[in-house]
Amino acid sequence: MINVRKFLNQKIIEVMSMLGHPVEDGLVLPSFRPDLSDYQSNIAMSWAKKLKTSPITLAHKILKVLSDIPEISKISVDGPGFINMSISENFLINNLKPALPKISHKKIVIDYGGANIAKEMHVGHLRSAIIGESIKRIMQSCGDEVIADVHLGDWGTPMGMLIAQLKKEQPELVFFKNHTKNLENISWSMNIAEISALYKRAAKNFKENDDFKEQARIATYQLQNGDAGYIALWKILKAVSLASIRKSYDKLLTTFDYWLGESDVNDLLPQMLSDLLKRKIAVESEGAIVIFLSEKENRTPPPLLLKKSDGAYTYAATDLATILQRGDMFHPDAILYVVDARQKEHFEQVFEAARLAGYVKPEVSLEHLAFGTINGKDGKPFKTRTGEAMKLKDLLNLAKDCARANLPKTSKEFSQRTLNKQAEQIAIASIKYQDLKNNRVSNYIFDTENFIKSEGKTGPYLLYAVARINSILAKAKVKNSKITDNILITHPIEREILLILEKQPEILEDAYTRREPSVISEYVYLLAQKFSTFYAECPVIQEKDQRIRNSRLTLIKFIKNTLLYHLNLLAIEAPEKMLKDKS
């Protein structure tokens, strides 16, 4: 399938060059008046003055050349000089192919997820996982080689806090003795609930008790400097935590190529710091090591802290070293970070430091793909009824319970297992779609009433559209690959749908360049809506004329595959069959 907008744009460029006015962009856009045309070009208005002519005259010159090409069925000059163009039916029919053009061949590292060891994942982490997974899939489908790394928070002060808390509660444990012997095979462990409870107690103490704070600092320093007991303990806590984190990501259909974390750059840190000091990029200041960064918008940013005066390395230090590590491991063209907007300054500073230090080639792009927060109805960060930060697990359960309650208790056709599975798929689709339908950077309010409904701009609405098409295809007894008949356009909605189907290359490119999954979510919704209109107005199985019937079956098969393709870009799975819900 070719990109129709690019095709028309290219035509305008060619005509302009024929007329002796080479331009780089034909300024073709989807029509502002879809009732009049499919696309429009604003080239005449923007060039006429420079070419000392009127927009209308220039537009008519272009029209004259383009009115002969078979791909354009209708062309007119309107208003002050808009060139309105409509695509011919033949072109639309012949361009309907499943394969989309590859538009990029870069190597991209994408850092998303970012779960923290011992801390239970909260809704903030949800957005990184959902948006990151989608951006990864969008980039892959455009032709990039994408390396996904979860970048676990497994190294800083929170680890020291955990260790200090455990030491306080159970000083007799083997980890806290002086070690000369190997601590590899220890049978002691804690389950994830205990670890998160331990973390909560540690966080409370850290906030309230200066003495404990000091203990946690020391523990962080000792862990980062290789204390054998602490390392052995940390490994156990990390393994247990990681198993639970993996489960959550599995549920969210989020997959990573690398499970690296902050700790994986620990060995690079001393050398990195001495290099930075030697080259005078970093300096010692009050016992700490920092980088002073340049003034921006009349404001001197705070120095970037790499090593605290107590000897512990910071989050910024691990991020800077991770840039070095990724350069060595992957030689990427770009590194993308799908992280909360509140970390904007952190990334600006780390990127600037990386450039100053020459840790990244000038042509490599470093991008913070920020996202907003999930809020409750009160406009404040989303909380549970008891006022705690909403945990990911609780949100998943809440959604699943709502989805299950909307389905019949029992069914002749579906087993309990299938119904539960369906409820889970609906729950995940609802949560994800509610998130991805918003602009990445905006905050949004989690709508606990409507997100799970099967009507409206929701995940379930899309899933039901797919299931409905599946059921029509099954009733018509057509296998997916069996329909080969040509498309016939016999109703305006069919033409409209073809045009929408062929917007795919434009949509994908837009989502890619803006790193914006909401472009895709908007598109699937539009297509699902148009399918509903089509289905209300055009009989498919009941259609008497075999050629029209086959054409319509082919069309809905295309709609279904296009819905599935884009749902997959959002990492949303659609069940093959669905039982009608009660909402």
151 binds ligand ARG (CB under 6 A): yes
Contact with ligand ARG (CB under 6 A) among 319, 424, 509, 516: 319
368 binds ligand ARG (CB under 6 A): no
| Candidate segments 108-116, 156-164, 200-208, 478-486, binder of ligand ARG by CB under 6 A | 108-116
Q: Least Å distance between CB 15 and ligand ARG?
A: 48
Sites for ligand ARG among residues 503-532 (CB under 6 A) = none
- Looking at the Cβ atoms of 136 and 552, the one nearer to ligand ARG is 136
Rounded to the nearest 10 degrees, what angle do helices 344-357 and 315-330 cross at?
A: 50
The single-letter code of the amino acid at 361 is: K
332 binds ligand ARG (CB under 6 A): no
- Looking at the Cβ atoms of 102 and 247, the one nearer to ligand ARG is 247
Backbone angles phi, psi at 78, to 5 degrees: -130, 160
Q: Least Å distance between CB 476 and ligand ARG?
A: 49
- Looking at the Cβ atoms of 319 and 494, the one nearer to ligand ARG is 319
The answer to whether 342 touches 348, Cβ cutoff 8 Å, is no
**3-class secondary structure, 391:** strand
H-state helical runs in 437-503: 459-475, 492-501
Q: Least Å distance between CB 239 and ligand ARG?
A: 18
Angle, CA 358 vertex, CA 354 and CA 363 arms, to 5°: 90
374 binds ligand ARG (CB under 6 A): no
120 binds ligand ARG (CB under 6 A): no
The single-letter code of the amino acid at 564 is: L
156 binds ligand ARG (CB under 6 A): no
Q: Least Å distance between CB 113 and ligand ARG?
A: 8
133 binds ligand ARG (CB under 6 A): no
Return all residues near 522 (Cβ < 8 A) that are at least 6 apart.
437
Nearest residue to the partner ligand ARG, using Cβ: 114
Return all residues near 397 (Cβ < 8 A) that are at least 6 apart.
none
Contact with ligand ARG (CB under 6 A) among 116, 215, 406, 551: 116
Q: Least Å distance between CB 343 and ligand ARG?
A: 7
The answer to whether 87 touches 70, Cβ cutoff 8 Å, is no
**3-class secondary structure, 107:** strand
Which residue is associated with the tokens 């980088």? 291
Q: What does the alpha-carbon distance between residue 566 and residue 134 come to, in Å, rounded to a whole number? A: 10
Contact with ligand ARG (CB under 6 A) among 81, 153, 156, 460: 153
Contact with ligand ARG (CB under 6 A) among 339, 369, 396, 574: 339
- Looking at the Cβ atoms of 127 and 151, the one nearer to ligand ARG is 151
Which residue is associated with the tokens 């000083």? 171
244 binds ligand ARG (CB under 6 A): no
Contact with ligand ARG (CB under 6 A) among 55, 114, 132, 158: 114
What is the number of other CB atoms lying within 10 angstroms of the CB of residue 218? 16
Return all residues near 206 (Cβ < 8 A) that are at least 6 apart.
161, 212, 213, 216
Q: Least Å distance between CB 360 and ligand ARG?
A: 14
**3-class secondary structure, 178:** coil
How crowded is the C-beta side of 449, counted as CA atoms within 13 Å? 1
Structure token digits, residue 467: 């299931």
Contact with ligand ARG (CB under 6 A) among 155, 199, 249, 337: 337
**# binding residues, ligand ARG (CB under 6 A):** 8
Contact residues: ligand ARG, CB under 6 A? 111, 114, 116, 151, 153, 319, 337, 339
